[in-house]
Amino acid sequence: MNKKIIYEIKGMYRDDFRITGYEFGEGAKSVCIVGSSRGNEVQQIYCCSLLVKKLRQLEEEGRIRAGHKILVIPSMNPYSMNIQKRFWPTDNTDINRMFPGYHLGETTQRIADGVFKEIMEYEYGIQFTSFYMPGDFMPHIRMMDEGYSNVETAKKFGLPYVVVRKVRPYDTTTLNYNWQVWNTQAFSLYTTTTSRIERNGAGQAVLSVLNFLSAQEIVKYSVPELMESKVVCDTDMVSVRTAKSGIFEPLIKAGEEVVVGEPLANIVHPYEGEIMETLFAPMDAKVFFMHNEPLTYANTAVIKLVRDQA
């Protein structure tokens, strides 16, 4: 294992800002794995830490195949993580909306530029990322419908779902999109949680990466028979929205199967304790996403459902 500084900014009053990477194996730049780019992505950095530990073990046992280099970057934003702030502390910008970066730009643009120069030539890119809304997910791989990546490769992670989503204008400044511009097959890996550690979900995420590395003959690792990933489009998911704002009381969890008419959540009056609204399942489906904050606004998609046969 080779531990190295990927990018560094000298600090005037605090310790220097450093992004640390861990290299395993030697040879062609095969896979780059990136963890948290936001300060609340605790589960994502935890998954990377488990991967670093496992890859170090595989390397010591000679189970990283010759001619392959793997790079793991657990966090691109340790400053924000130190103070538990999602975006960059001084100007509230999102590093994952700054790629490919600009070396003479704002701080987050410079960080994106410095990191991207180090990782732009890898064959495969895997990013542990989080959704723009707070909530729990069924573990899945997410990829864009236009790009260098393909569904059959995404299935090799062995996760329950591969979600194909349409490219939107803001995607052009994300790491995933720019990786593909430079001919890297890029995949976003969504684990169960974001701001808290969930060990079972982290273990499943780490195993999925090892499944992928084994399937691509980058590491020697015996994996169980992979489940058949179901491919769905993000537009096929059904969102359940609130009509009222208030305290959010979930009645089910992500991953559970529900039937049409089943209660999914209550919206409770924050002052009077009365149930103002109950959200019901509009169809037989599986809960793909569930809002996990105690409060919610009106007209918010707090639950996403996917048909199990999709």
- pLDDT of the chain, 310 residues: tens digit per residue: 999 999 999 876 778 899 999 999 999 999 999 999 999 999 999 999 999 999 999 999 999 999 999 999 999 999 999 988 999 998 999 999 999 999 999 999 999 999 999 999 999 999 999 998 899 999 999 999 877 889 999 999 999 999 999 998 889 999 999 999 999 999 999 999 999 999 999 999 999 999 999 999 999 998 777 778 999 999 899 999 999 999 999 999 999 999 999 999 999 999 999 999 999 999 999 999 999 999 999 999 999 999 875 4
Q: What's the confidence (pLDDT) of residue 310?
A: 42
Sign of CA dihedral 118, 1, 176, 195: negative
Q: What's the confidence (pLDDT) of residue 123?
A: 97
- Sorted by where each begins, the domain ranges of the chain are 2-232, 237-306
In angstroms, the CA 88 to CA 70 distance is 27
Q: What's the confidence (pLDDT) of residue 146?
A: 79
Residue 139 sits at the vertex; the CA angle it makes with 133 and 144, to the nearest 5 degrees, is: 70
Q: How many CB atoms lie within 10 A of CB 114?
A: 17
Find the Cα–Cα–Cα–Cα dihedral 43, 49, 51, 56, rounded to 10°.
-170
CATH topology of domain 2-232: Aminopeptidase (3.40.630)
Measured in degrees and rounded to the nearest 5, phi and psi for residue 81 equal -65, -35
In angstroms, the CA 249 to CA 89 distance is 31
Q: Side by side, which strands form the sheet with 275-280?
A: 275-280, 263-268, 246-250, 295-296
Cα distances (Å, whole numbers) of residue 57 to 34, 161, 219, 220: 19, 29, 11, 12
Considering only the top CATH level, what class is 237-306? mainly beta
| CA 4 to centroid of chain Cα atoms | 23
In angstroms, the CA 265 to CA 20 distance is 42
Measured in degrees and rounded to the nearest 5, phi and psi for residue 20 equal -105, 140
Q: What's the confidence (pLDDT) of residue 13?
A: 72
Contacts of 5 (CB under 8 A, 6+ apart): 18, 19, 20, 21
The residue among 105, 115, 116, 179 whose CA lies nearest residue 149 is: 179
Per residue in 258-285, is it b (16+ CB within 10 Å) or e — as a string? beeeeebbbbbeeeeeeebeebebeeeb
The pairing of strands 275-280 and 263-268 is antiparallel
Within the chain, where are the H helices?
Answer: 42-60, 78-82, 107-119, 151-154, 175-181, 199-215
